[in-house]
Each structure stands twice: as C-alpha cells, then as structure tokens.
Amino acid sequence: MKNTVILGALSVVALSAGMASADTLADVKARGELNCGVNVGLTGFGAPDANGNYQGFDVALCKAVAAAVLGDASKVKYLPTTGETRFTALASGEVDVLIRNSTWSFQRDTDLKFDFVAVNYYDGQGFMVKKDLGVSSAKELDGATVCIQTGTTTELNLADFFKANNMSYTPVNVADDSEGQRQYLAGACDVYTTDASGLAASRATLPDADNHIILPEIISKEPLGPLVRHGDNNWGDIIRWTYFALVAAEEYGVTSANVADMATSTNNPEIKRLLGAEGELGKMLGLDNEWAKRAIAASGNYGEIFEANIGSATPIKLARGLNALWTQGGLQYAPPFR
C-alpha cells in the first residue's frame, strides 16, 4: 500500500501547488520559474546539448521572457513536447507558454482556444529533392513518394497542393525531423517536405548538401510563433511585447553588448522608453521598467538570436528572407513603444 499512497500524497501536494489560475503572471512569479513548452528535436530551434542546456531560436525567446518576468534568463523549466502533446500541455496549464514552431492557424486560434501572440518566424512548406532526380519544380512531382511529419499542418497542405494540381503521391509519415531526414537520405522517399527552415537545416547537415535542392515552390504560409491560453490577455501581452522588444532592439541597434550603455547614453526617446529610462511601460505590463533591457541582455536582439542559432554563421545557414526587419524588406515589424 505504501508507495501507492505516497504517490497519492504527492499528487495532492502537487495538485495544490500546480493550480493554473487565470493569472499566469502571478503564478510564474510565485513559482519563480517559467514553464516553457519546447521542441527537443529540431536542430537550431530547440534542442538540449551534451550538458542538458537547451539552445535554439525558440529557446532564446523563452529565456528572454524569463529574463523580463523573473529577472533571470536561466529560470526557465523547459518541458519537452511532441507534436501530439503540445496543445494539451498548454491547455492544461502544464506550460505557461508554448514556443515550439507551431503554425498560427484559424482553428488553433479559435476552436482550440489559444492565442498566438506573435510570429517569431515566417515559414512556409517547401520540398527538398535529390538533384539527380531531375526535378526543378514541385509541379513535376506527380507519383512521387513524399516524407512528411505527422501531426502537423503540413499533411493537410500537402494533400491540398497535390489535389489542386491534379497529381498523386504516396505519403510516408515520419514521426520527427531526424527520422524524416534519415528516410529521405536512405531513399525511402523522393521528396522531403516540411517547413522551409527545417529543410534548410536538414540540407545543411547532409554529408553531400550539393546533391540536394530545395524546390522553389513554397506551398503554404507557416507563421510560427509563441502561443498562450485564451483568457489571460495580460500574460499574452507580456510574451508579445517581449518579442516586440527584441525586434525593436534590432531596429534601433540595441544589442546584448551595448544594452547597458544605451539605456543611459541614448537620446532617442523611443529607445529610452523601450529600455525603461523614460516612461512607465513596464508598469503597464505588470513588470518593472527594466524588463525589456533584461530581455535583450538575455540572448540579444532578434537579429542576434537569429544569427547565433540559425543564421548564416551557423551550419544551418538560413537567410533572413521574410524574417528580415521591415526596413530591410522583411516582415518583422514591431509596433511603436509608447
């Protein structure tokens, strides 16, 4: 009987401790830790290293939020989620925010009762094929075998695309990115389809990257971004504006290196407001005025995070593309801080 009841007791203790109330900010502060739902198997976006430290593009946003809310970028508890468990983990309150390359779609935003608060990566579904197949367009893929990750929007996009173009295909459903890459490499499928960023990451790590091409067609819009539960708008605002602070920081040239100096030395009133040297923006979020400063200091501005994790200096070598700042022809645009 002993262990059973110990577990029962533990669960009761945990129950009382883990109540997810409507005020996520208060919960996070009381807990002293941000529960961040992440992907553990996507190179460059989220994966733990040999020491168990999580790293990646999505992970950096977790750190920024933790820095803004709790004052310490390391106070994050990363909860690994799979394609199947991620939304449940968020809905049940197991995680405070889900930052796991999830596509913003109508149904998820409305029917599943989530709020996508921002788009930290504009992606689209693409195709990668071997060069010797002699294919130059996705329209030539009639009859091909396609590797595709299950539990994602890509399945539906793929079915729609082939239907719209009156083509047939054989799906090979794979569980995760590494499995998809292996199957594709082994030749179990002619085409590997997933988000273009993932394709680029996969291609970059192939032993013979030059023998593979990513087809020009992008068949879907995949705005990937952090999401929170419906009904806690203040918490959503915090995630959203932490993210915008990172984007704005890039726009204004605030980096993790100069953020401390900038706060005092700058004359630009917008930067002053952003970094809390002027105005009371932090208070309006329910945080202190230094929040954005800490968020930027955590792992840099949007551009720094991009370059450090998935940019051209990394093996993944993603171009900024749509994710360049709006001033440079991209879509990343932060509303004014006032």
Partner 1 sequence: MAFVQDAPKDSFRLGMLIYDTRYRAITIQVIVLTLFLLFLSWLVNNTIENLAAKDRSFDFGFLWQRAGYDINQTLISYTNDSTHFRAALVGLLNTLLAATVGCIVATILGVLVGVLRLSKNWLVGRMMTVYVEVLRNVPVLLWILLTMTILSETTPAPSDFRVTEAMIAAGEAPKATMMLWDTVAITNRGMNVPAPLVEHGLPRLELLGMSVNSNVLAFLVVLGGSLWVNSRIRGHARRVQEATGVRPVTWWKSLAVIVLPTVALLMALGFHLDIPTLTRFNFKGGTEILHSFTALTLALALYTSAFIAEIVRAGIMAISRGQSEAAFALGLRPGRTMSLVILPQALRVIIPPLISQYLNLTKNTSLAIAVSYMDLRGTLGGITLNQTGKELECMLLMMAIYLTLSLIISSVMNAFNRAVALKER
Partner 2 sequence: MTSVIPFVRNEMLPEKEPPLRERGVVHWMRQNLFSGPLNTVLTLLGLAVLLWVASHVLPWLMHSVWNASSLTECRDIITQRFGEGATGACWAMVKERWHQYLYGFYPMDLYWRPNLAFVLMFVAIAPVLYTSLPRKMLWFTAIYPALTFWLLWGGSVWTPVVAMLGFVILALIFRALVGKLGVPVSAGIGVVVAALWWMFAQGPVSDALQAAIPLSITTVDSDQFGGFLLSIVIGVTAISASLPMGILLALGRKSDMLIVRTLSVGFIEFIRGVPLITLLFTASLLLQYFLPPGSNFDIILRVIILVTLFAAAYIAEVIRGGLAALPRGQYEAADALGLDYWQAQRLIIMPQALKISIPGIVSSFIGLFKDTTLVAFVGLQDPLKGITTIVRADINWKGIYWEPYIFAGAIFFIICFGMSRYSMWLERKLKTDHR
Q: Give me the residues that bind partner 2 (CB under 8 A), please.
A: 1-21, 40-44, 47-52, 77-82, 84-85, 88-89, 91-94, 176-178, 181-182, 185, 205-207, 314-316
Give me the numbers of helices (H) and strands (E) for the chain, helices first please.
Answer: 14, 14
- Does the footprint of partner 1 cover residue 280 (CB under 8 A)? no
* E strands in the chain: 34-38, 47-48, 54-55, 76-80, 97-98, 114-116, 121-123, 125-130, 144-149, 169-174, 191-195, 212-214, 222-224, 227-229
Q: Which helix (H) or strand (E) holds 294?
A: helix 291-299
- Does the footprint of partner 1 cover residue 91 (CB under 8 A)? yes
Distance from C-alpha of 156 to C-alpha of 168, rounded to nearest angstrom? 14
Give which of partner 2, partner 1, none residue 79 binds (C-beta under 5 to 8 Å, depending on kind).
partner 2
Provide the minimum distance between the beta carbon of 267 and partner 2 in the complex, in angstroms, as a whole number.
Answer: 42
Q: 38: which strand partners?
A: 80
- Does the footprint of partner 1 cover residue 152 (CB under 8 A)? yes
Provide the minimum distance between the beta carbon of 305 and partner 2 in the complex, in angstroms, as a whole number.
Answer: 17
- Does the footprint of partner 1 cover residue 107 (CB under 8 A)? yes
Provide the minimum distance between the beta carbon of 302 and partner 1 in the complex, in angstroms, as a whole number.
Answer: 30
Nearer to partner 2, 175 or 218 (CB): 175
Q: How many residues bind partner 1 (CB under 8 A)?
A: 42
Give which of partner 1, partner 2, none residue 143 binds (C-beta under 5 to 8 Å, depending on kind).
partner 1
Checking DSSP bridges between strand 34-38 and strand 76-80, what pairing results, if any?
parallel
Provide the minimum distance between the beta carbon of 233 and partner 1 in the complex, in angstroms, as a whole number.
Answer: 16
**Cα–chain center distance at 163:** 30
Task: Write the CA distances from 71 to 29, 58, 162, 285, integer angstroms.
Answer: 10, 19, 49, 14
Q: 125: which strand partners?
A: 195
Q: Is 159 helix (H, G, I), strand (E, B) or coil?
A: helix
The tokens describing 219, both together, are: 């068949």
**DSSP result, 1-30:** -HHHHHHHHHHHHHHHH----S-HHHHHHH
Provide the minimum distance between the beta carbon of 159 and partner 1 in the complex, in angstroms, as a whole number.
Answer: 4
Give which of partner 1, partner 2, none residue 166 binds (C-beta under 5 to 8 Å, depending on kind).
none
Provide the minimum distance between the beta carbon of 39 and partner 2 in the complex, in angstroms, as a whole number.
Answer: 8
If phi > 0 it is left, if psi is from -120 to 50 it is alpha, else beta; for residue 72 that is beta
Q: Which of 4, 132, 166, 210 binds partner 1 (CB under 8 A)?
A: 132
Nearer to partner 2, 16 or 267 (CB): 16
Provide the minimum distance between the beta carbon of 46 and partner 2 in the complex, in angstroms, as a whole number.
Answer: 8
Binding site for partner 1 (CB under 8 A): 83-84, 87-88, 91, 107-108, 111-113, 132-133, 141-145, 150-152, 155-156, 158-160, 163, 169-175, 179, 182-183, 186-190, 230
